[in-house]
Every structure is written in C-alpha cells, then in structure tokens.
Structure 1
Amino acid sequence: MATYITLLNWTERGVSAYKDTARRAEDFSAALNKLGARLVDIYWTDGPYDLVCIIEAPDDETATAASLQLGALGNVRTTTLRAFGREEMRGIIAKAAG
C-alpha cells in the first residue's frame, strides 16, 4: 500500500464543531476502510495545519476519493502528499541511476 500524508485545516464549520473532532476522525477511519484504505494515525497540531493524517491506500485514485469524500463534508480542507518510505526511495534511486 502507498503512504499519504494529509494536512488538514478546519473550515469555519469544522472549527465551530470542534467538540466532534474525535468522532469525525473515527468516521473518517471507517470511510477509509470502506474504500480499502487505512488511517494509520492522526494528530491534532498547532501551527499552519490543524490536523495531520497518515493514510495507507492501494493507489492514488483511492487516496483522492477519500480526500473528496472528506472535503465534501465541509469540515476541513485537505492537502495530500504522496510519501515514500526508505525502501521505496532506495528503489526510486536505483531506477533513476539506471
């Protein structure tokens, strides 16, 4: 499975319902599972982003579908980054080197 780091910012709607954020995280995890993906971890953060999620998904299309579903709820805006682990990066380097 591919790894994705999703940076989230609350919308006005999301922050006004901050008391529900833990439940919304559980709902997001369940929605990911239905798509064949997995919420590895979630962190509530200080700074430019309100939350950071680490997600595993079988492909970019699944990760994008998850972001669309989440964004459609109106509580957050997302920025998703494809992340590569150490072994994946070694393979990329080997491929680039020819």
Structure 2
Amino acid sequence: MTKYVIISKLTDEGARTLKKNPHRIKEVNDELKEMGVEVLEQFFILGKYDFINIVKAKDEIAISRAVVELAARGSIRTQTYTAIPIDEFIESMD
C-alpha cells in the first residue's frame, strides 16, 4: 500500500455542509475506506487549505478514483501527492 498526502479546500457548499454536520468528515472517511482508501491521519489546518490527510491506497488508480469521486460532489477541491517514506528514499539514493 502506498501512502499519499491529500490537501484540500472546502467549496462554499462544502463549508455549509460542514457547519450543519461536522460529523460528515468521519462519514466521508468511511466512504473513502469503501473505495479502498484508508485515512491514517487527518488535520484541520489554518491557511490556504482547510485539511491535510495522510492516507494509504493500493495504487494510483485507487487514490485517483477516490479524489475524482470527492471532487464530483462539489464540496471540496483536492491536491494529492505520493508520500515516500524517508528511509525508502534514502535507500533508493544509495
């Protein structure tokens, strides 16, 4: 399983939904798990983005399908990055 970092920003619609039902965040995490993406850590952050998530998925296809599904809902916009464990990175440089 590969780890990914997803940074996201709520749309106006997403902010309204979150205000009405903050537990929606956990519901979405459950939906992601059904799509093959497990949320390992999740933070609300201050600044340009609203959330940062550390997740794991089988491959790039699985994570791509999940973020497209989220984007299609119109409540959030994401950027996704592959996270390479530092020890693996160092080993690859040797």
Percent same amino acid at aligned positions? 24
Structure 2 counterpart of 1:38:
38
| Structure showing the higher helix proportion among its residues | 1
Instruction: Give the deviation of 1:24 after TM superposition.
Output: 2.4
Query: 1:12-52 deviations in whole A, cap 9, x for unaligned?
Result: 11112232564222122112221222001111110010111
TM-score normalised by length of structure 1? 0.84
In 2, the alpha carbon distance for the partners of 1:16 and 1:35 equals 25
- Equivalent position SS for 2:23: helix
Alignment match, 1:79: 79
In the other structure, the counterpart of 1:28 is 28
5+ long unaligned stretches in structure 1: none
Q: Rg bigger for which structure? A: 1
Further displaced range: 56-65 or 29-38: 29-38
Where does 1:1-98 land on structure 2 (aligned, <5 Å)? 1-20=1-20, 22-94=22-94
Moved more, 5-14 or 28-37: 28-37
Report the number of matched residues.
94
**Native 8 Å contact 2:43 2:51 kept in 1:** yes
Secondary structure, counterpart of 2:47 in structure 1: coil
